[in-house]
């Protein structure tokens, strides 16, 4: 069936006339003349090849064919009406899609998401996490296509994107207070190596600091007295540290609140830093969402240490 040939106006007039039982009633509802209603009904009957109404002096009555046809028309018009209403709701709804990794979402963004909702009460924030290494054009096209902005870890050189560093990479050893036992902090880096270490396993190319990097920077690790534990998710690494299972490398500012409330203890004063970090990323090919600027400003609020906040955006040529 060719939908463009459906007599939609005639169907709406027919439904109104059947409901009112009078052409005059349908005309008043549809802001038409009675003659106009009669003409639409006549054209519809000619198109269908069947009489839909019996015309009487005081109104009209449906024929048996008209009564059977009305059920289908009512159902179809209701479905169309619901579809149009749904589309209009989507047109007025405001949504913002944010892509990030599980660690940033769980330990930095989620504790602050209520504040973002208060800042933009009329916007639905849709937060999606990924563990993918988004550093190639194909990955960017696949992962960032449906998002207004992303907060991802790397060097800031995502092709076809505009990016700004939000936090530099800064890590230091942390553990739960209970795991320290009788040891005191701060301690020398070499002393950290005597504890059980919690490793974050990387699939493929290493994108973040590992314990080997730490001991390369601050001295060789002494012979370990306990078997280390390796996990493939930073959420699990921090959970193990909180449960007193060992010492983890803690990324600032993801663990700032855990340090602040005493759930974790920083073991050394020296951080290990790099040119990498978390960046705010905007795909250049995607139409600009007006709320992105508000979220960017919120992400870089004064609650974030000034030394770690970005001050300008740089275009990345893809």
Looking up tokens 């534990």 gives 229
pLDDT digits (tens, 9 = 90+) for 170-202: 999 999 999 988 888 899 888 888 899 999 886
Residue 313 has pLDDT above 50, yes or no: no
Distance (Å, whole) CA 255 – CA 270: 16
Residue 312 has pLDDT above 60, yes or no: no
Out of 132-136, 137-141, 229-233, 234-238, pick the least confident.
Answer: 137-141
pLDDT digits (tens, 9 = 90+) for 268-279: 988 999 999 999
Question: Which of 230, 200, 209, 235 is closest to 100 using CA atoms?
Answer: 235
265 beta partners? 175
Look at 143 and 21; give whichever has higher pLDDT: 21
**236 sits in which H/E element:** helix 234-242
Peptide bond into 253 cis (omega under 30): yes
pTM: 0.62
Mean of all residue pLDDT scores within the chain = 82
Distance (Å, whole) CA 94 – CA 77: 28
**315 sits in which H/E element:** strand 314-315
Residue 285 has pLDDT above 80, yes or no: no
Residue 203 has pLDDT above 70, yes or no: no
Tokens representing 252 are 């600032």
pLDDT digits (tens, 9 = 90+) for 78-123: 888 878 876 665 555 688 888 998 889 988 998 888 888 888 888 8
**What pLDDT band is residue 232 in, cutting at 50, 70 and 90?**
confident
Look at 3 and 210; give whichever has higher pLDDT: 210
């Amino acid at each position: 069936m060719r939908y463009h040939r459906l007599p939609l106006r005639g169907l709406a007039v027919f439904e109104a006339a059947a409901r009112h039982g009078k052409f005059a009633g349908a005309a008043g509802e549809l802001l038409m003349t009675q003659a106009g209603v009669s003409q639409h009904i006549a054209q519809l009957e000619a198109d269908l090849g069947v009489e839909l109404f019996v015309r009487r002096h005081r109104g009209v009555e449906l024929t048996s064919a008209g009564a059977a046809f009305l059920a289908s028309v009512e159902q179809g018009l209701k479905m169309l009406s619901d579809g149009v209403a749904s589309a209009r709701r989507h047109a007025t709804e405001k949504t913002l899609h944010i892509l990030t990794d599980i660690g940033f979402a769980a330990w930095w963004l989620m504790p602050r998401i209520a504040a973002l909702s208060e800042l933009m009460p009329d916007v639905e924030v849709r937060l999606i996490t990924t563990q993918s290494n988004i550093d190639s054009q194909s990955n960017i096209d696949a992962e960032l296509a449906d998002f207004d902005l992303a907060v991802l870890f790397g060097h800031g050189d995502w092709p076809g994107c505009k990016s700004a560093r939000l936090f530099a990479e800064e890590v230091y050893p942390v553990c739960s207070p209970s795991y320290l036992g009788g040891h005191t902090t701060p301690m020398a880096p070499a002393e950290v190596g005597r504890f059980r270490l919690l490793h974050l396993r990387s699939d493929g190319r290493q994108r973040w600091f590992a314990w080997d990097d730490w001991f390369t920077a601050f001295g060789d690790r002494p012979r370990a007295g306990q078997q280390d534990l390796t996990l493939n998710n930073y959420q699990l690494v921090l959970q193990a540290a909180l449960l007193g299972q060992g010492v983890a490398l803690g990324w600032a500012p993801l663990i700032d609140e855990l340090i602040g409330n005493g759930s974790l203890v920083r073991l050394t004063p020296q951080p290990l830093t790099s040119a990498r970090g978390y960046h705010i990323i905007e795909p250049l090919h995607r139409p600009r969402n007006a709320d992105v600027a508000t979220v960017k400003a919120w992400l870089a609020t004064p609650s974030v240490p000034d030394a770690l906040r970005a001050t300008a955006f740089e275009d990345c040529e893809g």
